[in-house]
Every structure is written in C-alpha cells, then in structure tokens.
Amino acid sequence: MTRDRAGRIAATTVAAILPLGFLAIFFALPVAGMLARGFAPGGVLDLGGFAEVLGRARTQRIIGFTLAISAAATVISVVVGVPVAHALYRLALPGRRTLRAIVAMPFVLPTVVVGVMFRSLLAEGGALGGLGLDGEWGGILAAFVFFNLAVVVRTVGAAWEGLDRRPEEAAGTLGAGPATVFRTVTLPALAPSIISAASIVFLFCATAFGVVLTMGGLAYGTVETEIYLLTTALFDLRGAAVLSVVQLVAVVAMLLLADRARSRDAGTQRAAKSAIAPGRVTAYAMGSVIATVLAVAFVAVPVLALVVRSLRRQGEWTLDYYLALGRVGGADGRSALPVTVWEALGTSWRIAIDATILAVVLGLLVAVLVSRPARSPGGLRWRRLLDGVVMLPLGVSAVTVGFGFLITLDRPPLDLRTSPVLIPIAQAIVALPLVVRTLAPVLRAIDDRQRQVAATLGARPWQVLATVDLPIIWRPLLAAVGLALAVSLGEFGATSFLARPDSPTLPVVIYRLIGRPGVDNLGMALAASVILAVVTVTVMGVVERLRVSSVGAF
C-alpha cells in the first residue's frame, strides 16, 4: 500500500468516525433505548407486543389513516408540482425567481406556524371557515400539500432545468407531437427525480408531527402523533415502541426506493448551456402557467390570512397582539407564560446557532465523503451506507428521538438530561440530512479530474480542497447554513420534549398559546407565528439569493 493511499484511508476514516459517532450516540442510542423500554421492559425480550398492539382497532385505524393521507398528499403534490416545476424552471416566465421563492417558502415555515395558519384560515370566523374543514382530515391534507409542493417543485425543477433539450427536439423531428414528446422523452428523463421527490414527500407526511398535532385535534392522529400520545399521556411505551419500529421499517423502505431512483439518475449528463435555455411560453405550456398561478395563490392565501388575522381584534385593526408579545403572562394576563415571546425567540436563535454549527460541520464531512468517487466496489458500498444512514433522521420519529434522549442520556458517562446542549444536538440531527442533501450534489458535480489536474500541478490534498472544492462549494455551504438555521428555528417534535419549562423555544411557546382557551391567546399565537415565519423566511430569502439549486431538492 502506498503512503498516499494509506494517508487517504486514514483521513477518510477520521472524517467518517466523527459523524457516525455522533449519530451513534445521539441517534441510534436514544432510538435503541426507546425500543428497549418497549420490548424488554424487565430486561427480558418480549415481542408479543407486536401482535397485540398491531391487532388493536385503534392502531389499525391510525396506520391506515397515516398511509391514506400521506399517499393522497403525495399524489396531489406531484400532480400539481410537476407542471409548476415546468413553468418555473423551464419557461421564460416573467418574475419566475420571485415565484420560485414564494412556492419554496413553505418548506422552511415551522410546522407549528403552518398548523396555526391553517387553523386560523379554516376555523369558524376564518376566511375559509365556511368549508367546515377545521379539525377535519381535509385541512390536514391541505397543510401537507402546502408544505410539500416546494419539495416536488424544487427537486423536479432542478432536474428539469439541467435537462438537455435536444432529445426532445430530436423526437419532434421524428414526428412526435408535444404530448408524445413529454410522455416518451421528458417524463422518463424526469422519472428518477419525481420518484425521489415523491418518496421524500411521503416520508415527510407520514412522519409529520407539529402540523397534525396542532390541526388534528383529538379526532385524527397519525403514527407520529400516536407515538407522542402513547408516550406522554398513556405511558404505553410498548405501544410506542411497536409503532416506532413500524415507522422505521417503512422509512428505510422509502429511503431505499429513493436511493434506487437517484442512482439511476447518476448517468444523466449535464447539458451544454445553450441546450437548456428556458423556452417561450407557448399555448401548449399554458396548463403549466395556470397550475403555477393556482399554486402561488394556494401558498400565498394562508400566509396573508395569518398576517391579517394577527392584526385584527374584535373587527378592528390593532397591534395589540404584537404588543402583548413583550409581556410575560399572555394577552389576557392569565395564561402563565414564563417568558416573553421575544425572550423565547432569543432562546430559539441561540440554540439554532449551535445546532447549525454542528449540522454544517458534520454535514460537510459526510457530503465530502459520499461525493468522492469510490475506487472500489467496497468503497462504493461504504459511501452509500453512510449516505443512507445520515438520511435516517428524516424519517424516524422526532418524538422517539426526543424521548429517547431523556431515557438514555440520563446517567453517567453521559448525563445530559439537564444540559442545555441536548436541544441543539437533537435539532442538528434533524437538519443534518438537509445539509448533506444540499452539499453532496454540488460536490458530486465537480469533475474529479479537476482535483486530479490540481494534484499533478503540485497541489497537496488540502490545497486541492481549498482551490478546487471550496470556490465551488462556498455558496451551497452558506445556503446549507441558512437552511439549517431555518429548520432548527422551527423544530418542534424533539424540542417539545427537551425544552426546559423555564426557557422554552418559540415554537413551543406558540404551541402552548394555542392550547389555551381564549381569543387573545389565539391572537398572540398568530402574532408570534408571524414573527417566527418572518425570521425563517428572511433567512431563506438570503439563501434564495445565493441561487443554489440543490437547496430543498432531494
């Protein structure tokens, strides 16, 4: 073995151990601890719970509902998202950068904010209160589509934008009409990105927590909210463990499917600039334009409704709810918030900074590792494994992770129960897959011969990183920082377990506010939601300016 090769293997190992060790301690251990509580309460393994828990009528109803609503939301998101991706990434539509930003916005809106938003829209007295969707599955479905349209548009759009136009033109010269060209040339080329997006959307829906908890009330629950209920209210850890395993198996299956779709995509060549220039808006493309107008309205209306309602009290325009954000104790002076909303925002921000640093450092390591071309089939397998493992937190119940933290990291050598580092760590685990997904495609797109030519010109390995990778990666890196910040600011599932009662984060405060009776508490929740949304959307707006197409694409 050469020294070069030995050095490379050593560096690779160290770079892999850091993120894997982190995930082992702060992800695998808590999840395992949670499962152990459920399956081996007295130290004796008892898998009888599977049959019993899965046999319950309630469990079957919950699983059925989760699958049905996730599938419905996925189908709608894809059917609407693909034409929107066409219009926003393939047509020379005026103002398309702004429209892209609007459609992408929900992706970074905190789940709690979206829940509050849709409730205020659909509840009695809301703009669409007459539809009777408040607390109904239709409302949850709308919120799911609202969230995930961005995933489909960005993922499919990024693929479509780079698609070589010439095969379509060739099919045209062979006598294929526009519809036939789309069906026989374009759609097969986009299929990997569509499958990838659909599986991620399904994953997000099936594991959604904040939205369902704020919107479903008592009538509707998904596997994720059921785990929460079983864990915190009913103390049925066995039931929770069974559902966690079911969820984990489903998630791994979805990730494998997405991975297969992506690996088929790897052969697609990047086309020349001239071959991917946006096309004119023809009559044939009007369908896409109309879908885009509807999608933009669908995204903008709930947001505007939220802002309007936060400014109205008893039929008049007012800033009362915003003024109340600076007071301890809530708008009516009765609801006992321990801190003001502004203090909670400060807490959220400080935690988000720590979480972002963690997620970006680890995510960069993983992205560099998984994007380097493997020199052997074994190396390739390792890379794919690492790539898959860091994606797991996308789908594993944040509730399981959060509760797992409490029951496994509560004794030496790692007694972190009361430590303030737990929340940023949990949030970093949630943000890590998104950071990796933002950076890895960009690093993969760098022709490895660029690094090789630098090496033959005398650049040391670290100089290759600094002079070839860094100039291309710094913008996506900044974008990943923004994305991690936004995700961490809005994280609710794990944080709701870990936040200390005396210093809650802003999403936790909002959830507490809507849980209390009274129009004034709701008003404060609306105002606080607007503030949180403004912060995350501003962060995302800066990210948008960096024009990194891999952000939010899968």
Partner 1 sequence: MLSISRVSVSFGATRAVDDVSLEVPSGTVMAILGPSGCGKSSLLRAVAGLEPLASGSVSFDGADLVRVPTHRRGFAMMFQDGQLFGHLDVAGNVGYALARKGIRGSQARTEVDRLLELVGLAGYAARRPTTLSGGEGQRVALARALAARPRLLLLDEPLSALDRSLRERLATDLRHVLTETGTTAMMVTHDHGDAFTVADRTAIMRAGRLVQQGETAEVWAHPVDADTAHFLGVSVPSDLAEP
Rounded least distance, CB 462 to partner 1, Å: 10
Dig out the tokens for 487 from the structure. 């995700």
Q: Which of 495, 515, 486 is nearest to 119 (CA)?
A: 515
Closer Cβ to partner 1, 269 or 418, answer by number = 269
DSSP label of 374: P
DSSP label of 373: P
Closer Cβ to partner 1, 187 or 445, answer by number = 445
Rounded least distance, CB 9 to partner 1, Å: 12
Dig out the tokens for 27 from the structure. 């992800």
Dig out the tokens for 464 from the structure. 């290759």
Closer Cβ to partner 1, 439 or 526, answer by number = 439
Rounded least distance, CB 3 to partner 1, Å: 5
CA distance 251 to 259: 12
Rounded least distance, CB 12 to partner 1, Å: 15
Q: Are 166 and 95 in contact (CB under 8 A)?
A: no
Rounded least distance, CB 445 to partner 1, Å: 11
Show the CA angle centred on residue 269, arms to residues 152 and 386, nearest 5°.
65
45: amino acid identity, one letter: L
Q: Are 78 and 197 in contact (CB under 8 A)?
A: yes
- DSSP string covering 497-541: HHS-TTS--HHHHHHHHHTS-SHHHHHHHHHHHHHHHHHHHHHHH
Q: Which residues contact 135 (CB under 8 A, 6 or more apart)?
A: 215, 216, 217, 219, 220
Closer Cβ to partner 1, 323 or 453, answer by number = 453
Phi, psi of 199 (to 5 degrees): -70, -35
Rounded least distance, CB 486 to partner 1, Å: 27
Rounded least distance, CB 160 to partner 1, Å: 23
Rounded least distance, CB 375 to partner 1, Å: 8
Interface ranges with partner 1 (CB under 8 A):
2-5, 7, 375-377, 447, 449-450, 452-461, 463-464, 467-468, 471-472
Residue 317 pairs with which residues in a beta bridge? 312
183-208 residues labelled b (16+ CB within 10 A) or e (exposed)? eebbeebbebbbbbbbbbbbbbbbbb
Rounded least distance, CB 463 to partner 1, Å: 6
Closer Cβ to partner 1, 9 or 187, answer by number = 9
- DSSP string covering 123-169: STTSTTGGG--TTSHHHHHHHHHHHHHHHHHHHHHHHHHT--SHHHH
CA distance 255 to 261: 10
Closer Cβ to partner 1, 437 or 451, answer by number = 451
Q: Examine residue 302 and say whether the peptide bond preceding it is cis (omega within 30 degrees of 0).
A: no
Phi, psi of 281 (to 5 degrees): -85, 100
Closer Cβ to partner 1, 130 or 458, answer by number = 458
Rounded least distance, CB 480 to partner 1, Å: 19
Rounded least distance, CB 473 to partner 1, Å: 11
Q: With helix as H, strand as E and coil as C, how does 48-74 read?
A: HHHHHHHHCHHHHHHHHHHHHHHHHHH
Match 């943000």 to its residue by tokens. Answer: 431
Rounded least distance, CB 16 to partner 1, Å: 20
Closer Cβ to partner 1, 125 or 378, answer by number = 378
Other C-beta atoms closer than 10 Å to the C-beta of 174 total: 10
Phi, psi of 279 (to 5 degrees): -95, 170
Q: For residue 478, what are the CA distances in angstroms to 91, 391, 435?
A: 28, 21, 10
Closer Cβ to partner 1, 415 or 447, answer by number = 447
DSSP label of 312: E
Handedness of CA 375, 379, 384, 386 (dihedral sign): negative
Closer Cβ to partner 1, 12 or 450, answer by number = 450
Closer Cβ to partner 1, 2 or 13, answer by number = 2
Rounded least distance, CB 386 to partner 1, Å: 21
Q: Are 487 and 419 in contact (CB under 8 A)?
A: no
Closer Cβ to partner 1, 378 or 501, answer by number = 378
Closer Cβ to partner 1, 5 or 58, answer by number = 5
Rounded least distance, CB 472 to partner 1, Å: 7
Residue 156 pairs with which residues in a beta bridge? none
Dig out the tokens for 396 from the structure. 């594993």
Closer Cβ to partner 1, 418 or 456, answer by number = 456
Q: For residue 67, what are the CA distances in angstroms to 207, 247, 341, 482?
A: 10, 11, 36, 32
